[in-house]
Structure formats: structure tokens, C-alpha cells
Structure 1
Amino acid sequence: MHDITLVFSGPVNVDYFVFNAANENPGTNPPVGNTRSAFSNIQAEDYDSSYGPNLQTFSLPGGGSAIGYIENGYYTVYKNIDFGSNGAVSVTARVATQFDTTIQVRSGSASGTLLGTIYVGSTGSFDTYRDVSANISKTTGVKDIVLVFSGAVNVDYFKFSSSTSSDDINTATLLNTYGSLLGNVGTCINYYQLIDDNTLNVVKQQYNSITLENEMKPDAILGSSPSLISVSEARNLGYYIPSNWQDSMVPRLNFSTIDRVMQICSQNGLRMRAHTLVWHNQTPGWFFRNGFNGSSGYVSPQVMDARLEFYIKSVINHVYNSPYGDCVYAWDVVNEHLHAVNSGWAAIYGNAKNVSFVRNAFIYAHDALVALGKRDSVKLFYNDYNTYEVTNDIVSLIKYINQNGKYCDGVGMQAHLDTSYPSPASFKAALQTFLNNGFEVQITEFDVTNNNATTQANYCYDIFMGILDCKKAGGNITGITFWGLYDSVSWRASQSPLLFSSLTQPKPSYYSVLKAYTDSGYSIE
């Protein structure tokens, strides 16, 4: 806080003075205390201040002016916009651009309250103007409005309305599109993200399903080193001890995080994909060794069969004996077996693609669900990456698992993609092959690395058009999970692979995924 002194060098009358933020340019209409109606056209060039060194005002051929030469991060400020007591719930802007971009509408400042986001698709050229609309949070009273730009666009004017927008692409979310169509649309998350109220609220706006990124994998439950208990103590804790158990002790299982997450999901109307029961990574090495000692030799297949049955049935029983367990609707029973190298599983069972422990894992999971009366409502998946490279191997593996009954319901198609590989046609072909073989499919780990946001958006559009083509043809596709909330928390953060750049900032790829939905002929629920 500072005391400001004006020192005059001669006669002058002064009405008012204002300060501008660093790097912020004063606009063409400095505030004089008068308000402007939110419901009349607000000329874009009539800003009170702005940020953007190349921002320009230019004349339009038919008369009037617009602003342009806009780049990512530029913004314009319009002070004293009067929304009245009844308020506005939508905004319309007249724009022209050759690109897909967004305009955030904020209150107060460029980092102030986000009222809504206008998706601007290409109008064909920077000389072709059209109206685009978006719904906003209800806004009343007199506010300073800030337009924050994510890319190149020319803006003629904007105005607000007391009626909601009928522009589907701006009323759409992942939840009321893909969630409604497929039944499940989710994100991967961790417990500490989930207990943050802001994060949880955003999750509930966009998704109806979550997958724990790491906290349900074997090393999170078994621990990096064993905590051993007696067989009788294990039974008292509710663990499943198979009749062929040969070890004198039993490893303690840690369900504390899983229990807290199931409670949060149940109390907030979220469903949960359980990931994963069997994986060659993130399974502690001691689990495969004699006496649960990491320095000892590997156990026999018979001993490992019993350990596998103990682990799978104990975990599943614990989940569904919980008062919150019904939120768990699917399990990745075995993860990435066809890509395993030098694993403990291979050391014990060999390197065959169709191998007994994979089939047994599904049988154990199936039998546990049958005993609990949950098999009809809970699905079991084989989950893998680069499925377009091992499509036939996956088909063969699932047929091997199901040779004496249906134990595996289908394929979890991980989708860790890049705009250069695979081609959308290759991805669609693999998906169609799984569907043609009668498998249920869930897209389980979607992200797309890229060189720029526009390329990512175009690629995502093509991928999702292929997914939706398969769905329209009757394909049993029952879910999509995006592998992370936003770029900086992704496991591939340096390559900006997700649909959001921050928790509440969608990227062009977000809108292209929604556009694929409406372009495929589906309506917003």
C-alpha cells in the first residue's frame, strides 16, 4: 500500500486518474463511472485496458471495427458492465478465425472468477464472422468483465443474455455426452487430489467414474517389504486362505487408502474402476520368493497359484464386504501381460503368451464375484497398451481364458497415443476386431502426446470419430477413462497429453472431442 502524491507544474483541471497493471495497455474508453448494459452489443475495441503487445483495432469492410492479432494469453478488460438484478446466463461473441480456440469470460481480472468459456471453431477465414455462444454462471449486478484469449481470433462485439445458449458444443461436458452414451466416463486420480474440494467438484462436473492411478496396484496393498502375520490372524482379518496354501505366514494387506476412496466415491455419486490385480510392474519382488524373502529363490507354480488366489479373492472380498464397495463396477484383472519382460511371473510360469496364471487370475476373480452375488453387475477386463500391435494375441489370450466359461468380459484398451502413431485408422481397426469377437471394450487410459495443441485437437477428433463409428454400428463400448486431470499432473506432463491445461482450463482437444460427439449425430443429454 502506498500514499500517492500528484505534483503539478501548471494550471490543469483533473477529473480522475487510474493505474494500469504492468504490461497492461489503457483502452480506448477509460472509465468515467458510467455503466454499460450487458445485454447490448459491447464493441470489442471499446475495452478499458488490455494486455497483448500485438493487439490491434482495425476497420471492418462493412463498417465498424474489431480487434485482432490476438495471441495466447492476451486479454481485454471492460469495466462497469451492468447485468441488472435478474442477471445473465449466457454470452455470445461475433468472431472470425481460421483455427480452433477459446475465449474465457472472467469477472474482475484476467485471473478472476471464470464465468464461462466460449469455444470458437474455425469460421473459414479471419474475414468470415459468425456468432458463437456459451452458457455462463449466473451473473448479476455491475461487474468488470475480462475476455482471456487462448489463440488467434478476431472479435467484433459480444453481449450477454438472460436465456441459456442452445449451442450444443458450449453446453456439452464429457459427462453429458460420453458419460450418457457409454455409461462411464472417467479420469485417473490419486487420493490427495480427490480430497481437495475444488478438484472433487470439477471431477463431478465432467466424470462419473475414477480410476486410482497407483494406489490400487499390488505394491500399494502388499507394501515394498512384507508385514507377515499368521494364517489364523489372516483368517480373522477376513482374508481368503485357499485350501492349498503352503506358506507358514501370510502377508498383511493394506486397504486404508482404498477404503477412504470408496467412501468418497459412494458419497459423491462416483463409480470406480479397480486397477489392477495382476501386473508384472509394481508388484514387490518378495511376493514371488520363498518365505516372502526377496533374497530367496522363486517359489513353485503350485505355491504361486495359492498366493495368487489368496491375493485376488482377499482384495475382491474386502471391497464388496465394505459398505461402499458397490461403487466398484469393473476390474483390470491382468495388466500388460503381453508386454512383460523378465517378470516374477515369467520366472515361475515361463514366457508363454497363453499361460496358466493369467487364466487362473480371471477364474479366481470370477469365482469371488459369483460367491458375493456380484458377477452380473461387475465386469472383468484384460488391460494392455499398444493393442493395435498385439490385436490378434489379445484375441487369442481371451479365448484361452474363456475356453471353459466366460471369465474375461473384454478388453481394456489403453490409449497412450501420440499424434504421429498410431493412425486413427489403426486404432479403429483394433477396436473393431475386439468388438467383432464379441468382447466388451473400455478405453482405459487415454492421453495423446503432441507437438502443438491444434495437432492434438485434430488427432483426438479423428480418434473419437472412429470410436463413435464403432459404437453407432452396435459395438459394446462401455467406457472411456482419460489418464489424468490436466497436463501438469500427467505421467507424461512434458508432452501436454491431456484435454485440460489446468484443472478448469480446457484445451482445443477437449472441444474437438465434444465436437466429434455432436458431429456423429448424438445430442446432448
Structure 2
Amino acid sequence: MRRALIGAAVLLVAAVSTAAMVRAEAATPTLNALAAAKGKYFGSATDNGELSDTAYTAILGGGEFGQTTPGNSMKWDATEPNRNSFSYTRGDAIVTFAQQHNMKVRGHTLVWHSQLPGWVGSLPTTEVQAAMENHITQVATHYRGKVFAWDVVNEPFNDDGTFRTSPFYNAMGSAYIADALRTARAADPDAKLYINDYNTDGLGAKSDAMFNLVKSLQSQGVPIDGVGFQGHLAIQYGFPSQMQQNLQRFADLGLDVAITELDVRMVLPRDATKDATQATYYNNVVKACAAVTRCVGITIWDYTDKYSWVPNTFSGQGAALPWDENLQKKPTAYNAIVTGLGGVVDSPSPSVSPSASRSASASASPSASPSASRSASASASASSSPPPAGGCTATYKIVNQWDTGFQGEVNVTAPAGRTSWTVTWSFANGQTITQLWGGTYTQSGASVTVKNETWNGTPPATFGFLANWSGTNAIPTARCS
């Protein structure tokens, strides 16, 4: 009987013309929208096996994340399994998914001691430099313009701050790092070049070694744009010492910093106390990044326990991510990230099921006024009149809305054969776009014009944006040409 009542509620909500009768599931903006409001991104790693899981990809590409990192498909064993024989199929699949869902891609990784095909370790030391430079040049050139940053060198240090041995270090000493960065810059001049490592999140011997390395590279004129802090944490160990101060000292060198592989594991089974500690760790990391202007973003190392690397690596441990193995948000961990990004957590309405909430087309934050809530929900989307032959259609909708801002999305459709599009509309209530992805835009007064990127000129295409509003947020009529 209870299931029947819930099903009836879903149908009722789907049928009504206004969503003001319910509160949408997302009472705050998405994680990426919250991060974008601070000039940052919030992302998730992924891998090729996950892309066949439609429930998983619906969340990955559904707006929570503005960035992704291929977990394995750009590493050496995947891209050059045999010397000078390159394969990009797996990496290309993730790049394509990201482009289709307005996500930017972090390249990971060009030089690492692990996941090397056997032939690299078998090379004479006199041939290692040439092989490394060729690998970097080929892979970075292939993905030029498709990734915004590269983890050029991954995990160069032992935990005590000494250099880790590898075929590259054994052949070239620590000079391999500068050579790798120079080679990457030549192959992809526009990508941000990073060194990435774990257990460098707080102050200590390993982060000191990284700090000294970066200063040395800068003094030599070696191109380096940022440092990645992996953030593989565990609640049974103390939180990294003075994380914010550590991030800031690298930023003070004129570098970007990023949290690149965040997860917070625990000894299983889960319980409320462990969940609370995990939430505190997530909140601390996010607030540390948010407080450092040059901390450009945060990437969790996949978003769900279903595909976490932790259980296979740390026996008896897991539950490390903000979504559980059933792709459900963990309220404590997820809300800790929301509040760390400056969002407001709202308790769900007890009278509407999650399915019913998802059918609502827009939402207002708990701090939004009743009139704001009605404005957001009364008309979730508006499309232009039917296009002429060969024309295109733009459908505008509000994804999320809060007291001073909102997240919008426009879907572009057209008959086959189109290779470009332009969408225009006029705001009626003084709304101002602050950030837009999936297109290039100009705004002059009320008038907005958005043109396609080079990679999404053939519809269907989608672009999203953040904007400010006050008082009224009427839905404009979007036109496509």
C-alpha cells in the first residue's frame, strides 16, 4: 500500500505544471556549481569499465562534477604497451564522455614508477631518456587541447622525502623531472603542468621535499604550473598537519595547487561515529582548498564506493567516498562537502519521495524567499518556436536556484548536418552570467549570445552557466541559429 501511495505521488508531481508544490531533491546547487562560485571546479575520477554503467554515468555526467580524471587509461601501460606502439582508445572514450557532459579533463599521468609495461624496465639506462621523451611527446601531443592539465611526474618521493627509485631516476637521477616537464611543455604548451604525490597534504618531510624540489625547478627556469596533492586519507590516522598553510606556501611560489585524488577510508564496518569523523575530514579538506585562492579544484577518486580502489588495496578498509556502493549519497560526507564549499544543507521534505523530487524541474535553496521559489519552479524550461528547415532549437531551463544565484542549462538540437550553432536570449530581470561552460558567451546588458566550442558544434549539445539574480528570475525565450 505504501509503495502504491508513493507511486501515485510521483505521477501527481510529474503531471502538475508547477514545481512549487514540492521541494526538489537538490536544495543547494551541485557540488561543481558551489565550487565554481568560488572560482574552482569539483570533479570525480572515472575509468572505462564504469562508462557502461548507465546509473553511474547519469550521476557522473549529471552536473555534480565539472571535471574528470581517467584513473588508468592514460597511464604508460595503457597508452604505450609496446615500445613506440601507441593506443589511445580508452583515454579517448573518457575524453569524449567529458566533452559530451561539459566536463574538463585532467591528464594522468605521463611519468610514474608504477604501471609501466615490462619493456620500460628492461631498457638499457642509455635508452631511458629517449624513450621517456618520446612517450611524453606522443601522448601529450595526442591529447593537446583536450586536457587542461597534466600530472607530468607522479609520486617522485618516498615518504621520508628521498627520491623514489624508478627506471627514470636510475638512469637520469632527479634530472628526469625537469626533462619531463620541459618535454611536456614543448608537446602541449597550453596545458598546466603538475607534479603530483600523496602524503604531501600536510606539513612534513615529504611535503618539504616537494617544496624544495619546486623551488629548485623554478630557479632553473623549468616550466611548472602546479602541484597536486592526492589526499588519500584514512580516519584511523590523524588529519594532515596544517593543510591550509601547506597549500598556501606552494601557492605563494606562484603555483596553482589542486586536491587531485581525494578519498577518506575507514576500517570496516561503517558506523555513525566513523561516518562523522569521515565527514569532518572531507569538510576540512574542502575548506582548506576553498581558503586558498590558487587552489583551483578538488577531484574525488571516483565518487562511489562501488568503484573505489580502496578495498582491493587496503584489506578490511573501504567506504571511502561520498556515494555508497548503491550510488546513494551518504548524507554526512556529502553534506560536509557542501558546507565546506559554502553551501547550505537542507533536510529533505518528508512528504515527497526522492523519485517525486527528481521529477521537479528546479529548486530553491532554504534561504530563498517563497517568491524566489515560485519564480524558479513555475516554468522550468522554455524553447523557441519550431525552427525552419535546417534550423535548430534551444531549450532553456533552471537547474538550481538559491537566494542570489542560479544554475542554468541550455540544450541545443538540430537536424543532421549542422556543424555550428549560436543561441541568444534576453534576460528580463537584470540577471548576469558569472561563468559559462560548453560554449563561449558575451553579455551586453540583457542580451546574451552563446556560440559553440570547437568540439560541440554538431548538435545535440548542452551548455551550462552560473548567473546572479535578484527579486524575479523569469525564464527567457532562447533562440538558436
TM-score (ref. length: structure 2): 0.62
Question: What is the CA–CA distance in structure 1 between the aligned matches of 2:42 and 2:287, rounded to whole Å?
Answer: 18
How far apart, in 2, do the equivalents of 1:84 and 1:208 lie? 29
**Unmatched 5+ stretches in structure 1:** 1-47, 50-76, 89-137, 142-159, 229-250, 291-297, 321-325
Contact 1:83 1:140 in 2 (8 A): no
- Which of 184-193 and 211-220 deviates more? 184-193
Shift of 1:166: 8.7
- Show the counterpart of 2:325: 502
Match of 1:398 in 2: 214
Between stretches 251-260 and 211-220, larger displacement belongs to 251-260
Number of positions where the alignment pairs a residue of Structure 1 with one of Structure 2? 333
Alignment partner of 1:172 out of 29, 33, 39: 29
Q: Relative to total residues, which structure has the larger strand share, 1 or 2? A: 1
Rounded Cα–Cα distance in structure 2 between residues aligned with 1:453 and 1:359: 46
The one of 47, 68, 87 equivalent to 1:190 is 47
* 2:96 corresponds to 1:283: no
1:80 positional shift: 7.0
User: Deviation of residue 328 (structure 1)?
Assistant: 1.1
Say if 1:488 and 1:474 are closer, same or farther in 2 by CA, change over 3 A: closer
Question: Which of 438, 446, 450 matches 2:254?
Answer: 438
In structure 2, the CA distance between the partners of 1:279 and 1:407, relative to structure 1 (3 Å rule), is same
Aligned to 2:149: 330
Given candidates 381, 387, 393, the residue that maps to 2:194 is 381
Question: Which residue in 2 is equivalent to 1:273?
Answer: 106
Q: 1:345 to 1:285 in 2, by over 3 A?
A: farther
Partner-residue secondary structure (3-state), 1:171: coil
Distance 1:379 1:278 in 2: 15
* Closer, same or farther: CA 393–424 of 1 in aligned 2, 3 Å: closer
Q: Does the 8 A contact of 1:381 with 1:410 survive in 2?
A: yes
Q: Secondary structure at the match of 1:480?
A: strand
Contact 2:243-2:288 at 8 Å conserved across structures: no
Q: What is aligned with 1:36?
A: none
8 Å CA contact retained: 1:417, 1:446 = yes
Q: Which amino acid aligns with 2:40?
A: G
TM superposition shift of 1:360? 0.7
- TM-fit CA distance, 1:266: 1.9
Flag the 1:520–1:264 CA change in 2: closer, same or farther, 3 A.
closer
1:214 aligns with 2:72: yes
The one-letter amino acid of 1:267's match is Q
User: For residues 482 and 329 of structure 1, what CA distance do their matches in structure 2 show?
Assistant: 17
Which of 172, 176, 179 is 1:357 aligned to? Answer: 176
Specify the alignment match of 2:449 in structure 1: none
CA distance in structure 1 between the aligned counterparts of 2:76 and 2:45, rounded to whole angstroms: 17
Q: CA deviation at 1:334?
A: 0.3
Question: Given that residues 129 and 172 in structure 2 are in contact (C-alpha distance below 8 angstroms), is that contact kept between their aligned partners in structure 1?
Answer: no
Deviation (angstroms), 1:422 = 3.5
**What is the correspondence of 1:112-127 to structure 2 with a 5 Å cutoff?**
none
Residue 138 (structure 2) aligns with: 314
Moved more, 307-316 or 173-182: 173-182
Q: Is residue 275–residue 333 contact of structure 1 (8 Å, CA) maintained in 2?
A: yes
Q: CA deviation at 1:202?
A: 1.1
Three-state SS of the structure 1 residue aligned to 2:215 is helix
Q: SS of the counterpart of 1:211?
A: strand
Letter in 1 for 2:207: T
**Is the Cα–Cα contact under 8 Å of residues 424 and 462 in structure 1 kept in the other structure?**
no
1:121-165 Cα distance to aligned partner (Å, 9 max, x none): xxxxxxxxxxxxxxxxx4669xxxxxxxxxxxxxxxxxx973454
Residue 504 of structure 1 aligns to a residue in which SS?
Answer: coil
State the one-letter code of the partner of 1:299. Answer: T
1:343 equivalent to 2:166? Answer yes
Alignment check: 8 A CA contact 2:310 2:320 kept: yes
Between 1 and 2, higher relative CO (CA 8 Å, sep ≥ 6) is seen in 2
Give the secondary structure class of the aligned counterpart of 2:237.
Answer: coil
Work out the percentage of aligned pairs sharing the same amino acid. 26
> In 2, Cα distance between the equivalents of 1:474 and 1:426?
13
- Equivalent position amino acid for 1:191 in 2: N
Q: Quick check: 2:284–2:340 contact (8 Å CA) kept in 1? A: no
- Which residues of 2 match residues 38-437 of structure 1 at below 5 A? 48=1, 79=5, 83=9, 87-88=12-13, 138=14, 162-163=20-21, 165=23, 170-205=27-62, 206-223=64-81, 226=82, 251-290=84-123, 298-300=124-126, 303-320=127-144, 326-339=145-158, 341-350=164-173, 355-370=174-189, 375=190, 378-387=191-200, 388=202, 389=204, 390-405=206-221, 407-423=223-239, 425-437=241-253
**Distance 1:307-1:84 versus aligned 2 partners, 3 A rule:** closer
Pair 1:453–1:278, CA change in 2 (3 A): farther
Counterpart AA for 1:255: Y
| Distance change >3 Å, CA 287–CA 474, structure 1 → 2 | closer
Deviation at 1:381? 0.8
User: Counterparts of 1:304 and 1:211 in 2: how far apart (Å)?
Assistant: 27
Q: How far is 1:469 from its partner?
A: 4.7
Amino acid at match of 2:297: G
Change in Cα spacing, 1:442 to 1:471, as seen in structure 2 (3 Å) is closer
CA contact (8 A) 1:188 1:213 kept: yes
Amino acid across the alignment from 1:440: D
Cα distance in 1 for partners of 2:61, 2:341 equals 20
Letter in 2 for 1:510: Y
Aligned partner of residue 293 in structure 2, secondary structure: coil
Matches within 5 A, 1:18-29: none
- CA–CA separation in structure 1 for the residues paired with 2:271 and 2:15: 31
Aligned CA distance change for structure 1 residues 265 and 82 (closer, same or farther; 3 Å): closer
Is contact 1:208-1:271 (8 Å) kept?
yes
- Whichever residue aligns with residue 284 of structure 1, its letter is P
What amino acid is aligned across from residue 487 of structure 1 in structure 2?
D
Using the alignment, how far apart are the partners of 1:282 and 1:442 within structure 2? 23
- Cα contact 2:107–2:150 (8 A) shared by 1: yes
- Is 1:398–1:410's contact at 8 Å kept on the other side of the alignment? no
The one-letter code sitting in structure 2 at the alignment partner of 1:79 is L
Structure 1 contact 485–500 (Cα < 8 Å) conserved: yes
